[in-house]
Copies of this chain bind each other. A is one copy, B any other.
Amino acid sequence: MTRRELLTSLSVLAGSRAACAGPPLEISATRLRRQIESLSLYGRPAGGNFPDGVSRIGYSDADIAGRKYLLSLVAEARLKARIDAAGNIFVRAAGQDAALSPVLFGSHIDSVPSGGNFDGDLGSLAAIEILRVLGENGIVTRRPLEAAVWSCEEASFHGNALNGSRAAAGKLRPGELDGVSRGLTLAESMRRIGGDPARLDETQLRGGAFHAYLELHIEQGGTMDKEATSIGIVEGIVALDHYDAVITGMANHAGTTPMADRQDALIAAAHLTLAVRELVTQEPGPQVGTVGRLDVEPNAPNVVPGRVRLGIDLRDLSSEKLRRLGAAIRARASAIGEQTRTQIVLTQTQHAEPALATPEVQAVIQRTAEHLKLSHRSLPSGAVHDAQVMAALGRMGMIFVPSVGGISHSPKELTAWEDCARGANVLLHSVLALAV
């Protein structure tokens, strides 16, 4: 560590235009790459190579093996890990003023089935790497720093997501710990990874537990890749409304039922699917709407479909926009039902409020990117992240790096190594800027 480097970070926070005499502190891009490659072994498909993706479902044997590898990196960095009641891993570096709340930053290392090697892994390994490089350089910030590796961010075998961060924040729903999957309750799954759910209450993070929460993550969309932007400054994690539509027509013989007499549930479903896209795209903005699941009954080649169930997923930073879209889709569904002589019942099954990133934290990330001479843009996150749970407790910011082709939750997920390093360096200097 040099005073110069600390000053660099301070100048970022202050928005100072003072030129720096030397290059800014950097994480080890080589080490970060090697660790991402090594972590990919745990849950890698048989016979695969890097980056052939990973199936490291939360609480699985592969997850446990991956966590053990991550703990070995913590030890290598001469740091100490603490596992909380939910199985989250925390690694703390003391600050100059132990009375101050820490800057918290991290991500997760569990994956979806057949997921990729960057989603979560990058932000988790970068967090450990930042503590390591600071230690190697003898830098002690004013505030304590704490890296967090949240357990089970993706939907687990239990079907719920953000388990570790929600458990830490006291946001599990009643009965959720007792939900059974593959013979284990969620509480037992937490114990498998070293948690102690009976102690959740006493370890609960409360408002003020951290000075700010930062998370580095791949974009999982194609906007930055297409524009060749290095750094994404997340404005917030979008609100999500989910509707289930059940369309009831009349199943009948495909050969003997005249076209005019049909009550074809799939014709109605096709109209509704196209209507969702039309209504979502008819005003400008980043809002998205998807029919991803659609099931036909009886689904036989020679039977006019009698029933279709489909799911509608709507996301935007504005809950109000989602409400308007939902109402427009409901009105259209009613018209389609009349036109096709089917009954369409639309039920809202989910509503998640947006989690907005704190403007000051966004500003810190932006100044850091500018200082490091990296192209940047603001954008919403369409995916869920542990950061949205932390946003309910305190200041939050997220840093995105590009996903090649926008592909994610897929073995084809890819982020260029230079982008991984750029993101980690922006996280490093944002953390330093916030830790004063």
Interfacial residues, chain A to chain B (CB-CB below 8 A): 219-223, 226, 238, 240, 242, 250-259, 261, 264, 266-267, 269-271, 273-274, 277, 280-281, 286, 288-296, 299-305, 311, 313, 315, 381-384, 406-410
Contact = CB atoms under 8 A, between A and B. Distances in A.
A256 B219 contact: yes
A208 to B, nearest CB: 30
A352 to B, nearest CB: 11
Given A257-B288, A259-B289, A266-B292, 12 more contacts: A220-B256, A222-B257, A238-B255, A253-B409, A255-B288, A256-B406, A258-B288, A259-B277, A291-B305, A292-B300, A292-B304, A295-B299
A69 B238 CA distance: 66
A302 B313 contact: yes
A107 to B, nearest CB: 16
Given A240-B255, A406-B256, A222 B384 contact: no
Contacts of A274: 267, 270-271, 274
Contacts of A304: 290, 292
Given A292-B300, A313-B301, A409-B303, A267 B258 contact: no
Contact of A261 (B256, B294, B406): B406
Sorted nearest first, the 6 A-B pairs with minimum C-beta distance are A255-B382, A221-B256, A270-B270, A254-B290, A256-B382, A301-B311
Nearest to A223: B258
A304 B410 CA distance: 12
Given A221-B257, A253-B221, A274-B271, A293 B288 contact: no
Nearest to A238: B255
Contacts of A250: 407
A347 to B, nearest CB: 13
A42 to B, nearest CB: 23
A146 B254 CA distance: 32
A369 to B, nearest CB: 20
26 contacts: A221-B255, A221-B258, A223-B261, A242-B301, A251-B410, A252-B406, A252-B407, A252-B408, A253-B409, A254-B313, A256-B381, A256-B408, A257-B288, A257-B382, A258-B288, A259-B280, A259-B281, A259-B288, A259-B289, A266-B273, A266-B291, A267-B273, A292-B296, A293-B299, A294-B294, A294-B296
A403 to B, nearest CB: 8
Contacts of A252: 406-408, 410
Contacts of A410: 251-252
A266 B240 CA distance: 21
B301 A261 contact: no
